[in-house]
Structure 1
């Protein structure tokens, strides 16, 4: 169970950043009012914070994480830590300011857009950590691609839940369909790298596929009927749990299964 905190850390933070960015874009395009956007942005920062807190449990001695800061620019993990801290600071202050609406709205808007830019860098930094020469099941372009789809799959569903309904659902569905298209090649690569270890993860991969397919069905129903807002929480839950299942399989592809 040692890698389980990383499962929640990566999925929660990636999905939160994806939704944060989509909420900002939706606001800029007039898809959501300012108050609801502020609520959504702050909620995503809370989810991001939860992911970070859970991720800390992966570190045996959290204070030693400070040593990683000395490798900024050279170590992908150091870059991830710094970028997550920067996103949390900028996004947290900006979204809280917008939520409280006590003035300085222009400054808060600048902060959340800066946070979005940092968030993109954070999303790109995470897959770089897993390009390890010694782990053949991770050292592949599929690792990067699949991890970059998570902010779209989970983030799109969460953005739809918090007000950017049609664009959020569309982004999530398109990303899910892309993941299905890539899955045969991804599984072939994994089987070639380590067939036995990959076969042991069939249950997790199957659960992910079934939950994502259910999410697509729910999304299609939601797009066709304006009154289907009530199923958005279930869609978001389905795709987030699906990504968690897929991430469990990913970490199990290292050496020791959970």
Structure 2
């Protein structure tokens, strides 16, 4: 269970960044009122912060985590830490400024878009850590692809729950469809790399697929019916759970299953 903090860190932070960006796009398109946008952005930043806090528990001695900052620009892990701190700070200031609504709205919106750009770099920085030649099941472009789907799948679902309903659900559904289309190639690659270890994750991958399908179905029903808050939140929860399960399978490809 040693990798569980990383499971929550990667999924929650990536989903939060995705939700933050989708909310901003929805706000620019007029799909959400300013007050609700501010609340949604602040909630996304809080979720991001929760993911970062959970990730700290993976470090054997959290107080020494600051030492990693000295390798920024050279170490992928140090880059990830720095980018998470910068995104959290800029996005937090922007979201809090919009939430308090004390003026300078254009400035805080500009900061929010700057945070979104930093968030994109952060999302791309995470899979670089796992491009390890010694871990054959990770050392491929599929690792990047799988991780980049999470901001779409989880982020879209979260954005829908936070106020940008139709746009968020569409983004999530597109991500889920892409996930199913790419799944055969990904699974065949990890089976070729380490068949016994990959086969041991079949239950995790199956559970993820079932939950993603259920989440997509719930999203489609909601879009068609245009009602049912419970269904909206349930679909978002199921999708996030699916991504967490898929990430557990991913980390299990490194060592013995959890």
Q: List aligned pairs for 1:193-212, cutoff 5 A.
A: 193-212=193-212
- 1:185 and 2:185 are equivalent in the alignment: yes
Matching of residues 8-23 of structure 1 within 5 Å: 8-23=8-23
Q: Distance in 1 between matches of 2:78 and 2:222?
A: 41
Deviates more, 1:60-69 or 1:171-180: 60-69
Please give the alpha-carbon distance, in whole angstroms, between the structure 2 residues aligned to 1:145 and 1:228. 33
- CA-based RMSD: 0.8
Point out 4+ residue stretches in structure 1 off by more than 2 angstroms: none
Q: 1:26 maps to which residue?
A: 26
Q: Give the match's secondary structure for 1:227.
A: coil
Report the Cα distance in structure 2 between the residues aligned to 1:151 and 1:61, rounded to whole angstroms: 29
| Contact preservation (8 Å) 1:22, 1:159 | yes
Is 1:221–1:228's contact at 8 Å kept on the other side of the alignment? no
Q: Cα offset for 1:70?
A: 1.5
- Contact 1:59/1:65 (8 A) holds in 2: yes
Residue ranges of structure 2 left out of the alignment (5+ in a row): none
Matched residue, 1:120: 120
Q: Where does residue 162 of structure 1 map in the other structure? A: 162
Distance between the aligned counterparts of 1:237 and 1:230, measured in 2?
10
1:210 partner SS = helix
In structure 2, the partner of 1:174 is 174
2:59 partner SS: coil
Q: How does 1:4-153 map to 2 (within 5 A)?
A: 4-153=4-153
Deviations 1:217-248 (A, max 9, x none): 10110111112333111011000000000000
**TM-score scaled to structure 1, two decimals?**
0.98
Check whether the contact 1:24–1:113 (CA below 8 A) recurs between aligned residues: yes
1:256 CA drift (Å): 2.3
Normalization by structure 2: what TM-score?
0.98
2:250 is matched with which residue? 250
CA distance in 2, matches of 1:227, 1:84: 36
